[in-house]
Structure 1
Amino acid sequence: MKLMRLQAVIDTTGLSRPTIYKRMALDLFPTPVQLGERAVAWVSDEIEMWVQARVDERDERLKEQSALAGRPLNEAWRPLIETRA
């Protein structure tokens, strides 16, 4: 198991520090592990799962939008979306 400090979480997610802490307060983001009195880190697998969930949500929206519009998925996206289903 690997731990990630805040800067690595920011780099991985593209979120800012305030956004990460706001989402944690709303229970919308993984919470860190206390390392010391003033040090925390996030479990890398939890961050990766959170990112993957965002990708899965996007892919599902693309499928739904394509179905509602009555047209096939953009051929460039089809292999990515269908292999995750």
Structure 2
Amino acid sequence: MTSQPSDRFLRLNDVLDRTGLSRATLYRKIQAGTFPPQYKLAVRCCGWRESHLNIWLRNPMSFTLDDLPRNEN
């Protein structure tokens, strides 16, 4: 039996710290499809999957949404 590490959600400040992007640039990249989208976690709370952010960090210059895994909710 193999266990996969849990995929946690990162909040906006954590994402900004890890990427070095400004808030405006982050949302501009999401709109353009060159950054992973956020997930709605609650009424006033959203987050990004850590695994998706790691995929983006491996190659931020040529990332597209097609680079993300398809089988996730």
Normalising by the residue count of structure 2, what TM-score does the alignment of the two structures yield? 0.71
Unaligned runs of 5+ residues in structure 2 are 1-6, 63-73
Q: Equivalents in 2 of 1:45, 1:17: separation in Å?
A: 20
Secondary structure of the residue that 1:30 maps to in structure 2? coil
Residue 18 of structure 1 corresponds to which residue in structure 2?
24
1:73 counterpart residue number = none
- In the alignment, which residue of structure 1 is the partner of 2:67? none
Residue of structure 2 in register with 1:29 after alignment? 35
Report the aligned-residue RMSD. 1.9
TM-score relative to the length of structure 1 = 0.62
1:11-53 deviation line (CA, Å, top 9, x unaligned):
1000011100000001110001101112100000100110101
Q: Highest CA radius of gyration, 1 or 2?
A: 1
**Shift >4 Å, 4+ stretches:** none
Instruction: Report the identity percentage.
Output: 30
Higher strand share: 2
Paired residues, number: 57
